[in-house]
Every structure is written in structure tokens, then in C-alpha cells.
Amino acid sequence: MTFRCPDRPGIVYAVSGALLQMQANIIEKSQFSEPISGTFCLRTRFETDEADSTHIKVVLEAELAQFGGTLTVRNEEVKQRVLIMVSKFEHCLIDLLYRHSEGELPVDIPLVVSNHWDCQELVARYGIPYVHLPVTKETKRQQEQRLVELVDEHHVDFVVLARYMQVLSAELCAAISGRAINIHHSFLPGFKGAKPYHQAYDRGVKLIGATAHYVTSDLDEGPIIEQDVQRVTHAQNAEQLVVMGKDVERQVLSRAVKWQAEDRVLLVGNRTVVFQ
């Protein structure tokens, strides 16, 4: 379960009491009082003989109603469903598919969507349906409408943009708000636009990195989930920075997807609380 509400005394006591009613055993508990917004955030894993997660949520909602918060309850055995979007750069997609096949990512992947055919053969090797939705200026609106339909049809919990090189409209960003993760090939805030590694090389940077963040209508300005960096020197050229950067991108995105799938990321305004 996760719970967010305005911070005040008695929240943990109420949660523990509600779980005790169901003879639940707490396995893991993380909490944080976000100082800027005054929001209390909690994530708890517990086990109980009660098999109906809907009933569990009803009991918890009744006990926690006084706090006016947002509650989620999920059976850990029911994996979240992820729609992956990609264009032509396949390194992040390869990493996610491999980790998923090895059981490292606790998700189900019902389909991969792309505006190009380049990754179709790769995805087919994993037995996952590949949906081609080409984008032009004239078809962008229809393509995004179809994407929303696919999210609904396949009961998708969240979307991952694994180097999907299209700017999403404000309408689509609103439709999947808080449910779409993007990997940005730069350590934000940083070099924006085309060829960020080449911009970094031209400026003689000593650190390159990657940022996984929620998608918003403000390009590359969404709440940050995870970041990492790699030290570089004057000896590396732009192409070498690209190779090193791809490795950082893969690791950052996979961690963000895993944490999202495990309900470890709680969105609080323009910030995130990530219980690792």
C-alpha cells in the first residue's frame, strides 16, 4: 500500500491499527514527511490471509478517511502492465526486454509501440506484439488518440518512453499524467535539444549523465525519478561519450521502471519521493 496525505500526528498509528484489524504482518515500511508541501508519504508491504485486495482497501479507506489522503493497494503478485514506446535507438529497449525476460523487472509488457519499423524484429524475438504508429504532422493527433486507446484496451498501468523521439502533445501528456516515464540523454538540467553529448563535448564537460523523469507538457521538465553520471576526461571524443552515455541511460531507466513497478515512487507536486 501507499498513502499520501497532509502531514499530522496519528497517521502511522492509524495505518498500523487498520492492518492489525486484518491480522496483517508488516514486512517493510518506509515513510517521509515532505517539508516543502507538508505531505506525508508512506509505503508499506504486508502479508495477510485476506486475499481480496478490494476488501483490504475498503478497510484501510475507512480507517484513514480522517486524513483526506490518496491510498493505493495492490497485490504484489499482480504485476503492473507497461507499454514501451521506442523510435530507432534500441539500447534502452533491449535492456528492458532482457531484464524482463530474466525476471529482474516485475512487470508485464503487453506491447511495444513505435513510430518506425526498426525494432520490430528485436521485439518479435521476445514474443511481444509490436504496433507501428507512424507520425506525421497531419497524423499526429490520430496517432496519439490511438495510443490512448491502446493504453485502455491493454489495461496499461504506465508508459515508458525508451528513447521515443517524438514530443507528446499537451493533451496526451494530460491523459497519461503521472503514468509516463521518459529517459533523457543528459543530466538535467543541462544541454537541451539535438546532440546533447556533442554539445557537452564542445564545452569540455567532465561529467555526462542521464535522467529518468515523468512526462509533462513542459519538455524535459517533469518530476525527476532517477539520475546518474559518468566521469569523463578531455581524452574522450563525442562518439565515445555517446557509447558511455548509452550505458548510463540503460541503468537509470531500468531503475526508474523497477521502482515505479514496485510502487516506490510517490509524486508530490513537482517532486518525487522514492523509497528505494
Q: Where are the alpha helices (DSSP H) in 102-237?
A: 120-124, 140-153, 170-175, 196-202
What the block records as the C-alpha cell of 80 is 503492473
> What's the rounded Cα separation, in Å, for the pair 46 and 28?
7
Give the count of beta carbons closer than 10 Å to the beta carbon of residue 145: 13
Beta bridge partners of 6: 39
> What's the rounded Cα separation, in Å, for the pair 204 and 238?
10
Nearest in space to 107 (alpha carbons), one of 77, 66, 150, 151: 77
- Whether residue 263 lies in the annotated active site: no
Cβ neighbours of residue 30 under 8 Å, at least 6 residues apart? 42, 43, 44, 275
Q: Where are the alpha helices (DSSP H) in 76-157?
A: 91-101, 120-124, 140-153
> What's the rounded Cα separation, in Å, for the pair 108 and 81?
5
Q: Which of 220, 228, 247, 263 is catalytic?
A: 220
Dihedral angle computed from the Cα positions of residues 220, 223, 227 and 231, in that order, rounded to the nearest 10 degrees: 50
167 near 218, Cβ under 8 Å? no
- The residues carrying an active-site annotation are 220
